[in-house]
Every structure is written in structure tokens, then in C-alpha cells.
Amino acid sequence: MRLQTFLLPLVSLATFAAAAEVTTEYTLTNTCSRKTQRGDSIEVHYRGTLASDGSVFDTSYKRGQPLSFTVGKGMVIKGWDEGLLDMCIGDKRKLTIPPEFGYGQRAMGSIPAGSTLVFETELMGIQGVEKEEGGKKEEL
């Protein structure tokens, strides 16, 4: 009985942890010889909305300037560090990011605590990598 009492919370915790993951929808893919990797300095255009009501909380397109950062260094939310790996320049992805991979249980500007975030992203560049012309594009 004691073992069962101890294991039940662990099983519940494992189920909760497994349920929280970044969902990636590939909306435009290209073929290329060099994809994004941890440590790359990249430029990404994005539109961020709340999954709860679709309201836009931020967009780089309005500013006319993509966001520049280094992937995998914790400069952005964890959902971006993981969701923007293995992309070719010009690829587009829609990332649905649960709170555990976003801002968690803290509010951030107009983003309420515990929010699931949806980002439409477009990889504009990888520092030191030329965009390959003629790569196969596939809109999904």
C-alpha cells in the first residue's frame, strides 16, 4: 500500500510532463544542405498570438525587422530554442507552445500567466550561411 501511495503521484507527474510539448506545424519547407543548429545566430520573422482567443500580442512583421538571436542559448523562450531547429532559410513553421516552454505561470506584458502561445515563424537567415536558390519548396 505504501508503494502504491508513493508511485501514484509520480505516475501523475510523469503524465503531466509528457503532455506538455511544443507542437510544430510545417507550413512551408525547403530543401537545403545546411539547417539551423544550436549555437547558430539566426533571424526570424514571427507573429505571436494567444491560443485562448487568437489575439496578437507581438509581431516582427509590423516593425519590418526580424528578431535576431542565437538558437539554444536561452535568449528566447524554450519553445523557440527547440521549435526552430533543423530549418532551412525560407522555411515557415507554426509553433504551439504550452506554458512550460513559454513564460510559465508568470504574466509577460499582455500575455496572461499560464498562456499557451502560437507563433507563425519564418526563418529569414542563418549568419554565415548563404540562402540556397532552387531548393525544393513544399507548401503544406
64 SS3 class: coil
Query: What are the distances in angstroms from CA 112 to CA 14, 23, 105, 123, 124?
Result: 26, 20, 8, 27, 29
Tell me, yes or no, if 126 is annotated catalytic.
Answer: no
In the set 40, 42, 46, 89, the catalytic residue is 46
Tell me, yes or no, if 58 is annotated catalytic.
Answer: yes
Pairing of strands 41-50, 92-97: unpaired
In the set 40, 42, 69, 77, the catalytic residue is 77
Q: Could you tell me if 25 and 94 are in contact, meaning their C-beta atoms sit under 8 angstroms apart? A: yes
Tell me, yes or no, if 61 is annotated catalytic.
Answer: no
In the set 101, 103, 111, 126, the catalytic residue is 103
Tell me, yes or no, if 69 is annotated catalytic.
Answer: no
Q: Which residues pair with 59 in a beta bridge?
A: 47
**Helix%, strand%, coil% for the chain, nearest 5:** 20, 35, 45
Q: Which residues pair with 44 in a beta bridge?
A: 67, 123
Q: Could you tell me if 89 and 131 are in contact, meaning their C-beta atoms sit under 8 angstroms apart? A: yes
Tell me, yes or no, if 103 is annotated catalytic.
Answer: yes
Tell me, yes or no, if 101 is annotated catalytic.
Answer: no
Which residues does the annotation mark as catalytic?
Answer: 46, 57-58, 77, 103, 119
